[in-house]
Amino acid sequence: DIVMTQTPLSSVVTLGQPASISCKTRQSLVHSDGNTYLSWLQQRPGQPPRLLIYKISNHFSGVPDRFSGSGAGTDFTLKISRVEAEDVGVYYCMQATHFPYTFGRGTKLEIK
């Protein structure tokens, strides 16, 4: 199985400051069809996961521009340019290139 190494596992950020989450794998996530199926999901407290970013860097509908994804191959990053109160929750990277699909352990984002 593809292990998604996500860091940090927790982050306390001051309102308005940036936040960054890393997700790394040992195996490339480039699919044979040329796409890289690396997504970022947000899970607010008591809520189901929600798609934020798909295929590394694409914003899902309704996701604020302060969220951005980047990376390639085995190394990926989610950045929040200015953290807002509603961003509190757990963030997961997920790969859907190789079966079984796997998730990172999650990064808990708290506001200072």
Partner 1 sequence: EVQLVESGGGLVQPGGSLRLSCAASGFTFSSYWLHWVRQVPGKGLLWVSRINDDGSSTTYADSVKGRFTVSRDNAKNTLYLQMNSLRAEDTAVYYCARWSDYYGGMDVWGQGTTVTVSS
Give the nearest distance from C-beta 100 to partner 1 in angstroms: 5
Give the nearest distance from C-beta 15 to partner 1 in angstroms: 25
Quick one: tokens of 112?
């200072």
Q: Which is nearer to partner 1, 17 or 58 (CB)?
A: 58
Task: From residue 83, give the alpha-carbon distance in Å to each of 34, 59, 62, 92, 107.
Answer: 33, 17, 16, 17, 14
Residue 10: strand pairing partners: 108
Interacting residues toward partner 1 by CB under 8 A: 35, 37, 39, 41, 48-51, 54-55, 58, 60, 92, 94, 96, 99-106
